[in-house]
Amino acid sequence: MEDRNPEIDLAALMDLVEARFNDPTLLLSAVTHRSYLNEHREATWEHNERLEFLGDAVLELVVTDFLFTTYRDKPEGELTAIRAALVNTVSLAIASEELGINKFLLMSKGEAKDEGRARQYILANVFEAIIGALYLDQGFTAARAFIAPRLFKHTQEIVDKRLWQDPKSRFQELAQEKASITPTYETMAQEGPDHDRVFTIGVFLRHEKVAEGKGRSKQEAEQQAAERAIAAKGW
């Protein structure tokens, strides 16, 4: 394996995920982006998209089972929203970063330069692909053992701070609770051509402008403004 792919230390990667694979090629595939195979035709393993598809389903079942058992008083709609917050792209990307997966990623030189949202998406997919690889190699129990310590610890904060709500809904609820005011939103500026417009939206509590947000749609700008308003108020 190392002769075919000297760029990655599979033993170190297995140490990282705390599992000894019967078929290490599954783990190698889990960290391989499609773009890497386009530049390395000699590679004899698959990219991670099929494993990511499988891992996504396993992850959803593991998290659903955990939430269903832990929060017996919560209705289906709230559990669905909490699950979505727990396994969204940002959450899974953070889990990948904390794990140290970045240095093991196999991707094209172009993809390797991507940062921000693009890199988050890749890291989140790799996390799910590792789950899929573990499931195929060792079964459901091993996949759950990988997921539990890396995601379940964030659940109570999501519940306590109502992070499962979108920022705009959360800020409205907090503003009504703490100040008896319903926030209002106002367009402060519009820049750029019609096909590439950027909106600046201010969020107000009566006459107080609490924060501003920017986005390529008014909805996106409002959500950012609300998120910043929560931080500005310390709520």
- Residues acting as catalytic residues: 56, 128
Rounded to the nearest integer, the mean pLDDT of the chain is: 90
State the pLDDT confidence band at 4, using cuts at 50, 70 and 90. very low
Global pTM reads 0.73
All domains in the chain, ordered by first residue: 10-160 (1.10.1520.10), 167-233 (3.30.160.20)
pLDDT at 169: 85
Q: What is the pLDDT of residue 113?
A: 66
Residue 114 pLDDT level (bands cut at 50, 70, 90): low
Q: What is the pLDDT of residues 121-137, one digit of tens each?
A: 999 999 999 999 999 99
Long-range contacts of 91-97 (CB under 8 A, 24+ apart): 91/124, 91/151, 91/154, 92/123, 92/124, 92/127, 92/128, 93/119, 93/120, 93/121, 93/123, 93/124, 93/127, 95/127, 95/150, 95/151, 96/123, 96/124, 96/126, 96/127, 97/123
Which residue would you say has higher pLDDT here, 40 or 178? Answer: 178
Tell me: the pLDDT tens digits for 24-72? 999 999 999 998 988 887 888 999 999 999 999 999 999 999 999 999 9
- Per-residue model confidence (pLDDT) at position 108: 81
Per residue in 88-110, pLDDT (tens digit) is 998 999 999 999 999 899 988 77
pLDDT of 19 over the 60 cut? yes
pLDDT of residue 30: 97
